[in-house]
Amino acid sequence: MTLVDVLEDAGFKVLEAAHADEALQHLQAVPRINAIVTDVEMPRGSLNGFELARKVRQERKEIGVLIASGRAAPQPGDLPEGAVFIGKPVHPGSLVHLLHTLLGAQSG
């Protein structure tokens, strides 16, 4: 299953973005986005996942941010305040639980 399938099966409405620039376009066009899930490494676009996370948290602090990677661990300063990092591979149930927890923290 893809990440999108896992999240949709868990009841999330998902907007896919091929790269950070497209994700930022979605964020501008759709005001009711509650969270982003991003990989650190993205094949195209002007930002990596850490940079995208920092930009999102600067512009929309209410959005939950979950960053995943199987190769790049965060260094000091990589994660913006309130963002969560998870190493891959990750069990789909763990990912869904973590996202629900993150969204709960954002609303509280």
The domain in which residue 57 lies consists of: 3-107
- Provide the pLDDT confidence category of residue 101 given band limits of 50, 70 and 90: very high
Which CATH number is 56's domain given? Answer: 3.40.50.2300
pTM of the model: 0.89
As for how many domains the chain has, the answer is 1
Question: Where do the DSSP E strands lie in the chain?
Answer: 35-39, 64-69, 84-87
The average pLDDT across 54-58 equals: 94
Compute the radius of gyration of the chain from its Cα atoms: 13
Digit-coded pLDDT (tens) for 14-52: 999 999 999 999 999 998 999 999 999 987 888 999 999
